[in-house]
Amino acid sequence: MTTETTSIPTATAKIPAPATPYQEDIARYWNNEARPVNLRLGDVDGLYHHHYGIGAVDHAALGDPAHSEYEKKVVAELHRLESAQAEFLMDHLGPVGPGDTLVDAGCGRGGSMVMAHRRFGCRVEGVTLSTGQADFGNGRARELRIDDHVRSRVCNMLDTPFDKGSVTASWNNESTMYVDLHDLFGEHSRFLKVGGRYVTITGCWNPRYGQPSKWVSQINAHFECNIHSRREYLRAMADNRLVPHTIVDLTPDTLPYWELRATSSLVTGIEEAFIESYRDGSFQYVLIAADRV
Ligand SMILES: C[S@@+](CC[C@H](N)C(=O)[O-])C[C@H]1O[C@@H](n2cnc3c(N)ncnc32)[C@H](O)[C@@H]1O
Ligand SMILES: CC(C)=CCC/C(C)=C/COP(=O)(O)OP(=O)(O)O
Ligand SMILES: [Mg+2]
């Protein structure tokens, strides 16, 4: 039961100043974002994601491209693959019970937070730089009557209000490319319980390729982000008491999503960079799950 006193009025109530001019740019970017490829997919079932998909495309479900309903089916299929990606991340959070707290660092519009609460029955705390995103996520939580468990706030994920050792598991879903990894993992390590779990799904450049390819540079420019190398993730985790437990190369699993998206009416222009960099091996889509030791 939610009352005036326990509900979260808006994420704008006490907005901390962004720590850097770069963070101001990122907050502005996400406050202004309203791409149909994200909103129309979210409208399918009310889970709004800002990450990409994994898994095989169900061509039987899509049917004949000449059919009048085909485009609608493509939207539903892309959304299904994005939700499958979030479920896969949550498969790696370890045991989580209703009394636990999870942290979604860089939570976007909050689709993953709703999924995590439905799956585990626990509290889910999200942080984003964007007031618009936090208000959107809190609005969805209120509509779903889960605002007593699911809360987004405007907050720098490198400097959160969560108490030391208070969090059972935490994640970054496609949000690590906006921050210094040592600062980020230091903060997760601080608020995670010893024995807790950290998971990220991210795009990283592949040290085996040598240096960031032109496609990786294009993705950075498109999103105003700074993609790290796979090596940097492992080094920064090791330096912050996060010991990798599972590493999965999801590159072959995300390519079908991109190939389908490239044929849809919702293309944004970045599809070629993802497809070419995944194919030439310069860029990888990975899950890393680590134990906080
Ligand atoms: C690509 S979106 C991913 C959203 C979400 N994880 C999802 O899967 O839908 C990147 C998110 O990272 C957030 N972000 C970037 N830098 C941040 C920072 N320093 N502190 C908090 N959030 C940050 C942005 O505000 C945005 O919500
Ligand atoms: C894997 C990498 C490098 C991700 C960069 C971060 C990012 C912008 C993710 C998707 O957001 P989105 O869902 O808003 O993007 P789009 O509009 O392209 O779907
Ligand atoms: Mg998207």
Q: Kindly report the pTM of this predicted structure.
A: 0.95
Asked whether 242 and 292 are in contact (CB, 8 A), the reply is: yes
The phi, psi pair for 142, rounded to 5°, reads -65, -45
pLDDT value of position 1: 36
Superfamily of domain 21-292: Vaccinia Virus protein VP39 (3.40.50.150)
Say how many CA atoms lie within 13 Å of 146 toward its Cβ.
23
Asked whether 226 and 23 are in contact (CB, 8 A), the reply is: no
The phi, psi pair for 247, rounded to 5°, reads -130, 125
How far separated are the first and last CA of the chain, in Å rounded? 37
Q: What is the pLDDT of residues 59-114, one digit of tens each?
A: 999 999 999 999 999 999 999 999 999 999 999 999 999 999 999 999 999 999 99
Handedness of CA 94, 100, 105, 108 (dihedral sign): positive
Mean pLDDT across the chain: 95
User: How is residue 74 written in tokens?
Assistant: 């493509």
With a Cβ cut-off of 6 Å, ligand 2 is lined by 35, 37-38, 50-51, 174, 177, 203, 219, 223, 225, 227, 268, 270
Average pLDDT over residues 256-263: 98
Tell me how many degrees the CA angle 255-259-261 measures, rounded to the nearest 5.
115
With a Cβ cut-off of 6 Å, ligand 1 is lined by 23, 26, 30, 49-51, 106-108, 111-112, 127-130, 133, 156-158, 173-175, 178-179
- Helix (H) or strand (E) run with residue 128 in it: strand 123-128
Which residue has the least CA distance to atom 13 on ligand 2? Answer: 50
Q: How far apart are the CA of 204 and the centre of ligand 1, in A?
A: 16
Instruction: Kindly provide the ipTM of the predicted complex, given to two decimals.
Output: 0.99
Domain boundaries, the chain: 21-292
Q: Which of 176, 223, 250, 270 to mutate to test the pocket of ligand 2 (most atoms within 8 A of CB)?
A: 223
Q: Which residue has the tokens 């319980």?
A: 193
- CA distances (Å), origin 25, targets 19, 135, 225: 11, 18, 10
Q: How far apart are the CA of 222 and the centre of ligand 2, in A?
A: 9
Partners of 105 in the β-ladder:
127
Q: The sheet that has 167-173: what strands, in order across it?
A: 150-154, 123-128, 101-105, 167-173, 192-205, 283-292, 242-249
Q: What is the pLDDT of residues 148-191, one digit of tens each?
A: 999 999 999 999 999 999 999 999 999 999 999 999 999 999 99
The DSSP 8-state label assigned to residue 289 in this structure reads E
Which residue has the least CA distance to atom 9 on ligand 2? Answer: 51
**Amino acid at the residue 209:** Y
